[in-house]
A = this chain, B = another copy of it.
């Protein structure tokens, strides 16, 4: 028996609904239908009245979540695709994110964003929006890369008293499998060293963790390079302790992400390492992101819009040859 990434998300919601009466689910087609990706399959029957179909009203969906949170609940909102959260942008960054600072009253909502590209999903069903939400004070933004993290981090997100943007990667849904869900006790906000190494550090998150590990394995086989891969897990706030400790060991940094290149996680990581760990760097830090265009539809274009093990290796070779 194996469990995949989307199963873990389903299981986490099952656990949360079972253990906490204040949890409920709200989103488009999530009730009897089980959601566009089946991440809520069976929950409507198991928890009658607690898994609600919403109209196509993303702005109001987040408003509902905030109102319910102010009235003692811990709603989980499923956006059908991360891209459609652009409609809810105002409610997320201005209503939910500012509320605690303004009033001292917490807004424990979790917004699930099916993120990232898959072949053929095109410009409006492929976006990675973590940079957008991370920019705003008052939000926690997480992006699990493993089956177990998908489970535990969703549970931790819902338990947190602050609004959490939970970025789940659609490419990992069924592609990523584990034999079971394990816990390693890491809290939200802590990064993980996915692959220890000594010659250089790749700092990344979400689906790109797997591309980084693949590139690292290839480089190890090809030429004996030993690359460390750090999985940020939480992109806001960043676990700079783990990142800096890794760069201290390796002296070399590649920040890797699937999102658009201007700003974002890779810029923040590189800027902070440059500022806080300048003396640790033996070479200029590098970044690798998607190309600076919308995400294209055609699978071949899509595949080379985002970083690949090949483009990661090119970047790493330049980093290592410095």
Contacts and interface: CB of A to CB of B under 8 A. Distances in A.
A264 B276 CA distance: 18
A119 interface: no
A137 B292 contact: yes
Contact of A271 (B94, B132, B236, B287): B287
B294 A137 contact: yes
Interface string A244-269: 00000000000100011011111110
Query: How many monomers of this protein are in the complex?
Result: 2
Given A124-B94, A263-B131, A284 B294 contact: no
A293 B138 contact: yes
A101 interface: yes
Contact of A89 (B90, B271, B293): B90
Contacts of A293: 101, 137-138
A275 interface: yes
Interface residues of A, number: 49
Interface in A126-152: 131-132, 134-138
A105 to B, nearest CB: 14
Most buried by B among A264, A266, A267: A267
A267 B260 contact: no
Contacts of A131: 135, 263
Interface string A94-108: 100110011000000
Interface string A195-206: 000000000000
A254 to B, nearest CB: 10
A96 to B, nearest CB: 12
Given A89-B86, A89-B90, A94-B86, A283 B278 contact: yes
13 contacts: A98-B294, A101-B123, A132-B135, A135-B259, A136-B260, A262-B268, A263-B268, A271-B271, A271-B287, A274-B274, A275-B285, A278-B283, A278-B284
Given A134-B263, A271-B285, 14 more contacts: A86-B89, A86-B94, A101-B123, A102-B294, A132-B132, A135-B263, A136-B262, A137-B262, A137-B294, A263-B267, A270-B270, A270-B274, A270-B275, A274-B284
